[in-house]
Each structure stands twice: as structure tokens, then as C-alpha cells.
Amino acid sequence: MSSVPESLRLQRPVSPLELFYDLVFVFAVSQLSHHLLEHQDWRGAAETAVLLVAVFGTWAYTSYEATLLDIQRDVTRWMVVIVMGLGLFMNAAITHAFDDRAWLFVVPLLLILLFASAVTAAAGRTDVLREHFRRTLVWIAASAPLWITGAAVGPGARLWWWAAAALVDLIGTWLAHPLPQRALSSRELPFDAEHMIERLRLFFIVLLGETVLTAGRVMADAPVDAPSIVATAGVFTALVCLWALYFGGGEDVFRTAVETTADPVRSVRLGVNSAYLVLAALVAMAVGSELVIAHPLGHGSVRLALLLFGGPALYLAATGWFFHATAHGAWTQRLAACAACIAAGAAAIWLPPLASLALLDVILTATAIAVTRAHHTLTRSLQATADA
């Protein structure tokens, strides 16, 4: 029996304000994809990864804080609106953050992290919650000088400073911001897990939606011929499969696992942690899709193979790890599909892009069918265990 008082066990639907807030990150995903498309080398990939950690970190921080504070409170609503405004400036600077708009990216980023955490540290509903976000502020204070120094130095050294800052922020998020002899005890933390599950679910739809928009934009500029049309249809098929790999019963598995665990905060936190990799996978997939639609009958390359197959492989690995860690099932099929993507990616170096896309569709379609069946079986198993 939980010792959390009934008055603190809030269950709120996702509000229109939170959906409005997510629209800022539709723009962010588009900007990240554009940056990678314009810098298709290892440095460009590293820059995109650093920017992605920073951008998604702001979404994760604010979404957690809005859930913990209760989105119906005025202080929470004002926090979300202010963060949304700052996020618009930050996301607008993404494509030139490593050129002449470093400060336009860093200043809003730090203001978001410091402001949102400070609000929660002051307005949190329990001592445990307020103390946790005071620790969070310590971690942010540790990474802030690295972000600031990176903005102050030249573009060449900026990547190293910002990579170090992003690593500090990422480790803090993954470990729940511990300090020596002070760590989060989340089992009795009042938390609306259903609300945060729905936030993750809707954000995932936003990410897939942006990839659909990317395919549509490229199709609008591509020649109206059979190869381009077939390529667009192939990209759409792949995206439907990626959607089915979670929404084909996966959300039921996640919800049931959270409902039957003694520590729902941990399960949701693992979902947020895996979302960093899912976002990176979908950005890579979006750029690979653009290349295929633009040149469906061109030549294969290492770059295209990494984007087109590396993105889905990362997606499968991240979600496989998440389902293994939270529900202890529906991960072996994903692991096998990840291995198939790696093998197909090696062959894609020599295949025409359209043939590579067809191969990807075969792998993802078979995986979606197998994983959907595994999800339904796993949900029944979890429910039976909970009822026993």
C-alpha cells in the first residue's frame, strides 16, 4: 500500500497548453534534421547529437516538472508558457548554433533549465520533490559554464565544450541527478504516471509526424515520376511500421507495466531516457528518407546506409532495451530486427537507394507483425501476474 497521501495522487488529462508546447518541438525536430542534412559528415552528426541532447532535455525537464507540479496550477501554466517562448528562440538558432548564433542558442537553453528547475524547487508539493530539484539545479550549474565557454570560443573548439556540457546534462538525466549520499527515492514520490505516459505517447506521434512532413516536402520538390512516387510510398510504409512497433500494443504493455510496478517513476524515467535515442533515430531516418526520395535511382553509399538503416536499427535497439528493462519481454524480436538492419545496411552500400528502401520495408513489416503479437501476449501475461 502506498504511503503517498490521497490528496497528492493527482490524475490529470494532458492539457491543450501542453499540446501547444509540443508544437515548438515539431520545429526543433525539423531544424535538427535540416542541420544533419546540410552537414553529412561525422562532425555534422556529432553536432546534431549535441544539439539533440540539449533540445530534448528541455522538453523532458519541462514535461516532468509540469506533471509533478500539476498543469492546472497557475505557476505551472506560466512556467510552460515562458519556457515555450524561450524554446522558440533556442530552436530557431539550431541550424546556425555552431556558426554565428551560439549565444541565441545557449542563453535560452540555460534560462529554460534554470528557470523551470527553480520553479519546481520552490513550488514542489513535497519536501522530497523540492529537494530533488535543488539537486537538479546543482547539476545544471555544473554544465552551465561548459555551455557558456563553448559559445564564447570559436566554432572549431565549440563542439568539444558543448559535447562535455551535453554529456553532463545527459548523465544527470539518466541517473536522476544524484549527489554524494543524496539520491532520488522515487517509490513514494507523488507522480501522475498516466499523465507522463500520455505525454510521451503524444510526443512520439509528433516525432513521427515531422518525419511524414519531411517526406511530403521532399516529394513536393521531386520530379513527378514513378521512382519518386514509389520511394515516397516506401518511406511512408517504413514510418507506418515504426508507428506499429509501439502503437501495435506497445502502449498497452507500457501502461500495464507501470500500473503493476512498485516504482512507476522509474519506469517512466526509463521511457524518457530511451526517447533520446528514439529522437536521434527518427532524425537519421528523416534525412535518409530525403536522400532516397530525391535520388531514388542513384548510387548507394556508406552515408545513405548509415542514415537509412542506422536510424531504424537505433530505434529498435532503444525500444528493445526499454521493453526489456520495464516489461521483461517483446525485446528479442527487436534485437533480431536490429541485426537484420545492420546486415542490410552493409549491403545497401552497393544497392540503388530504392532497392535499399524496399529491403528496409520488408524487415520492418515483418518485425511489426511479430512485435505486435508479442505485445498482446506480454500484456496478458503482465495482467495475469498482477491479478495472481
The domain spanning residue 375 has which CATH number?
1.20.1410
Whole-structure pTM over 0.85, yes or no?
yes
Could you say which of 112, 142, 175 is where a domain stops? 175
Are residues 263 and 143 part of one domain? no
pLDDT < 70: residue spans in the chain: 1-11, 188, 388
Residue 56 CA to residue 277 CA, distance in Å, equals 10
Could you say which of 144, 175, 206 is where a domain stops? 175
Domain span including residue 315: 194-387
Are residues 202 and 127 part of one domain? no
How high is the pLDDT of residue 1? 37
How high is the pLDDT of residue 388? 65
Q: Is residue 183 part of a domain?
A: no
Q: Is residue 270 part of a domain?
A: yes
Are residues 91 and 53 part of one domain? yes
Residue 341 CA to residue 350 CA, distance in Å, equals 15
Q: Is residue 7 part of a domain?
A: no
How high is the pLDDT of residue 214? 77
Are residues 223 and 143 part of one domain? no
Are residues 368 and 256 part of one domain? yes
Residue 15 CA to residue 239 CA, distance in Å, equals 27
Rounded to 5°, angle at Cα 306 from 303 and 311:
135
Domain count, the chain: 2
What angle separates helix 102-123 from helix 42-69, to the nearest 10 degrees?
20
Could you say which of 175, 207, 222 is where a domain stops? 175
Looking at the DSSP assignment, which residues form a beta bridge with residue 179? Answer: 182
In the block, cell 526509463 appears at: 270
Q: Is residue 362 part of a domain?
A: yes
Residue 379, C-alpha cell as written in the block: 500484456
10 Å CB burial of residue 42 (0-12, 13-18, 19+) is exposed
Residue 162 CA to residue 170 CA, distance in Å, equals 12
Helix (H, G, I), strand (E, B) or coil at 8: helix
Range list of H helices, the chain: 16-38, 42-69, 74-92, 102-123, 127-152, 155-175, 193-221, 226-247, 250-259, 264-294, 302-326, 332-348, 353-387
Judge whether 79 and 66 are in contact, CB under 8 Å. Answer: yes
Residue 9 CA, distance from chain mean position: 27
Rounded to 5°, angle at Cα 32 from 216 and 277:
100
Residue 157 CA to residue 149 CA, distance in Å, equals 10
Residue 371 CA to residue 330 CA, distance in Å, equals 6
User: How many Cα atoms occupy the beta-carbon half-sphere of 384 within 13 Å?
Assistant: 6
Are residues 275 and 171 part of one domain? no
Q: What is the DSSP letter of 14?
A: P
Looking at the DSSP assignment, which residues form a beta bridge with residue 182? Answer: 179
The answer for residues whose C-beta is within 8 angstroms of residue 356's C-beta and 6 or more apart is 292, 300, 304, 305, 308, 309, 344, 347, 348
Neighbours of 74 (CB within 10 A): 7
Amino acid at 247: F
Are residues 166 and 224 part of one domain? no
Judge whether 292 and 348 are in contact, CB under 8 Å. Answer: no
Are residues 341 and 253 part of one domain? yes
Are residues 212 and 157 part of one domain? no
334 dihedral zone (left: phi>0; alpha: psi -120 to 50; beta): alpha
Q: Is residue 5 part of a domain?
A: no
